Structure 1
Amino acid sequence: MALARIHYQGSAFPISYDLHNLSIPSPRGVLVFLHGWGSNKELMKIAFGQSFRDYTHLYIDLPGFGASANEQILHTHDYAQIIESLLSYIRTHFSELDSQEFIMVGHSFGGKVATLLAKEQLILLSSAGILTPKPLKVRAKILLAKLCKGLGIRAKFLRAQDAHNLNEAMYQTFKNVVDEDFSQSFKQCRAQAFVFWGKDDSATPLSSGEMIASLLPQSQFFPLEGDHYFFLKQAKLIESLYHKSTQGG
C-alpha cells in the first residue's frame, strides 16, 4: 500500500492506493479500479487481482473509505477532481505509465466517478446514477428523520444503512451523492463504455443498467448472473467479454 497527499481546494487528502503488475512488459493499459460506497480497494483486489493479467492495476481507496481518511464535505465532482489529481501524480511518479491509457473501472458510486474521468474506455459495474422510486418504508424513514431534525432531535438510528458509522463530514457527503441524477453525465461521456450488471441486483436494478447503456453514446451492455456484487465471482467472464468486444469478436 502507498499513500499520496493530494491537495484540493485548500485541503490535503491522503489517498491510499496499490499498483499491481507494474513490471509486466508492454502492458495493454492501466485499469483504475474505483469501489462503491462503503467499500474499499481491497474488495476490488479480491475480485480482479487474478484477472486482466496483461494490464497494470491501480486500486484506490476513495476519500473517506479504507485507508483514505476524509473530514471534508464532498460531492461526486469533487471526488473526480481528487482522483484526477491522483492519476496525474501516478503518471509523474511512475514514468513507465506516462504513455499508458488509463481505463476507468467503477462499481456503484465509483461508477459515477469513473464516468466523469473516462476518456477512451469505461467499464461500469452496476453503477449508481439513475434515480429509482424509493420503497414506502424508506420514504417513511426519510420523513421521520426530517421531522426529528426540525424538532432538534438527533436520530442516527434512522440513517440509511450506507450512512452508518460515518463521521459528520462523510454523512453530509453521503446526503450530497445518494440521490444524484447522473443522466446528463452519462449522455456527455464520450468514452467507449462496457456496462456490466447483475441480473438480480436490488440496489441498482437491471433497468438502471439498461437506462445507463442507452444514455451512453458508445456502449455495450452485459447482464450477468448475480446481485450488486456479481463481479466478485465473474471477473474472468468480464475480462473475456471485454476482450471480445474490444477485439471485434
Structure 2
Amino acid sequence: MRQPTSLKADVVIERHFHDRLGISFLAAGTQGPAIVFLHGWGAFKELWWSALRDLGRDYRCFALDMPGHGESRIGRADRIEAIAELVAEFCHDHGLSQIILVGHSMGGSVAVEVTLRDPELVARLALIDAAVDAYRMPVYTRTYLLPNVGWAVFRMTQTIGRTFRPLGQRIPHEHGGGWIRPWLRRASYLATFDPEGLYRILRSLFATRADDRLRQIRVPTLVMTGQLDSLAPPTHARRLAACIPGAQYVMIPASLHNPMDERPRAFTRALRRFLDHSPIG
C-alpha cells in the first residue's frame, strides 16, 4: 500500500515494505532510469531524502533500509555478500533490469559486491565515502570490534543516541545540511537498531575484501568523498578510484562522512554531473 509522505516539484516520496524480502524502502519518481540508494552501517533510508526529492524529478528512485536497520528485518542477511544478494533480488522483483547503484559507506561495499556479482544489472556505480576494503581504513574505525571493550563502547554509543533521541526526532529530513543537526538525527536512529545484528554486520564489513577484484568493474563509476571525512578519508577514496578503471573522483568541500546529509545540494549537483556525462540509454 502506498503512503504519500512528501511533495515538492511534483515529486512524491512514498514508503513501502517488501514483504517477501522484509525490506522497507522509499520510492520517488515515476519515469527515467532507476537509481537504487544504499546507506551505510547504522544509518537509515531517510538519509537520502533530499536526493530523492531532487532526483525524483528525472529518475525512478529507491532508497532501502538495509537489513537490521530501520524497519528492515535482518533475517540471515548479516553478511555483506548476503546483503548484496538481497539487493539484487529486490531489483529483480521490481523489474529493474538496469540500475544506477549509489552506495554510501558500508552501502558502498555492498554496491561493489552487487556490481561484481551481477554486472548486467548495474549500469552506473557511485561510491560515496565508501567503506570498500574497510580493513584499509584508519585503525580507530574498528573501535567497536576491539576485544573486551568494543561491545561496551558500542552500547554506550547507543545509550547516548537514546539520550538525544527526543531532540533528534524533531529534526526534519530536509534540514538544509550542516554538521550538528544531521549528527543528532543519525544518533537518534542508531539508538533504535538491534545491537547484535549491527555487530554481526560490522564484523562482516571489515572481513570483506574487494582488493584486485575492483579492476573487474567496467561500468562508469563515481567515487565521492567528504573533504573532512575521518572514517573513509580522501586518501582511502583516491586509492579506491585508482583501482577502478576510468573512475571519476570528486571531493565535497566542508563535508564529513555523510555529504548527502551535510551538504545535500552539493552532493546532488555532483551526482547529477556524473549522471549527465554517463547517461543510460
> Using a 3 Å threshold, how does the CA distance of structure 1 residues 167 and 218 change in structure 2: closer, same or farther?
same
Contact 2:35–2:59 (CA under 8 A) maintained in structure 1: yes
- Find the aligned partners of 2:147 and 2:65 in 1 and give their Cα distance: 33
Answering whether residue 266 of structure 2 is matched by residue 238 of structure 1, we say: no
Cα contact 1:71–1:170 (8 A) shared by 2? no
Matched, 1:217 2:245: yes
User: Higher mean Cα deviation, 218-227 or 176-185?
Assistant: 176-185
Q: CA deviation at 1:138?
A: 3.9
Unaligned segments of structure 1, at least 5 residues? 7-12, 92-97, 146-154
Structure 2 residue 106 is the aligned partner of structure 1 residue 103: no
Match of 1:78? 82
Q: 1:18 to 1:138 in 2, by over 3 A?
A: closer
Aligned position for 1:14: 22
- Shift of the 187–54 alpha-carbon distance from structure 1 to 2, 3 Å rule, reads same
1:21-66 per-residue CA deviation (whole Å, 9 max, x = no partner) reads: 12x4xx1x10101111111111112344223621111111111111
CA distance in 2, matches of 1:54, 1:177: 33
8 A contact 2:129–2:237 mirrored in 1: yes
The AA in structure 1 aligned to 2:152 is: F
Say if 1:136 and 1:213 are closer, same or farther in 2 by CA, change over 3 A: closer
Residue 188 of structure 1: CA displacement?
A: 2.4
**Greater radius of gyration (CA):** 1
> TM-score, with normalisation over the residues of structure 2?
0.69
- Output the CA distance in 2 between the equivalents of 1:14 and 1:58: 15
In structure 2, give the amino acid aligned to 1:187. Answer: R
Report the RMSD for the aligned CA atoms in angstroms. 2.7
Q: TM-score, normalised by structure 1?
A: 0.77
Compared with structure 1, are the counterparts of its residues 62 and 80 closer, same or farther at alpha carbon in structure 2 (3 Å cutoff)? same
Contact 1:73 1:172 (8 Å CA) reproduced = no
Task: Report how many aligned residue pairs link the two structures.
Answer: 220
Call closer, same or farther: CA 1:144–1:19 in 2, change over 3 Å.
closer
Q: What amino acid sits opposite 2:23 in the alignment?
A: I
1:198 maps to what in 2? 226
Partner of 1:4: 18
Give the residue type in structure 2 aligned to 1:14: G
| Matches for 1:1-249 after TM superposition, within 5 Å | 1-6=15-20, 13-22=21-30, 24=31, 27=32, 29-51=33-55, 53-72=57-76, 74-91=78-95, 98=96, 101-118=98-115, 119-130=122-133, 131-135=136-140, 138=143, 142-145=146-149, 156-159=151-154, 161=157, 166-225=194-253, 226-232=255-261, 233=263, 234-246=266-278
State the alpha-carbon separation in 2 of the partners of residues 135 and 47 from structure 1: 30
The share of aligned pairs that are identical, in percent, is: 22
Structure 2 runs not aligned, ≥5 long: 1-14, 116-121, 159-189
User: Relative to structure 1, is the Cα distance of residues 85 and 136 closer, same or farther in structure 2, using a 3 angstrom cutoff?
Assistant: closer
Q: Deviations over 1:102-145 (max 9, x none)?
A: 11011101111112223321011111023134149949x82444
Q: Is the CA contact (8 Å cut-off) linking 1:213 and 1:220 kept in structure 2?
A: yes
Once residues 195 and 88 of structure 1 are traced to their aligned partners in structure 2, the CA distance between those partners, rounded to angstroms, is: 25
Segments ≥4 residues shifted beyond 6 Å: none
CA distance in 2, matches of 1:168, 1:79: 16
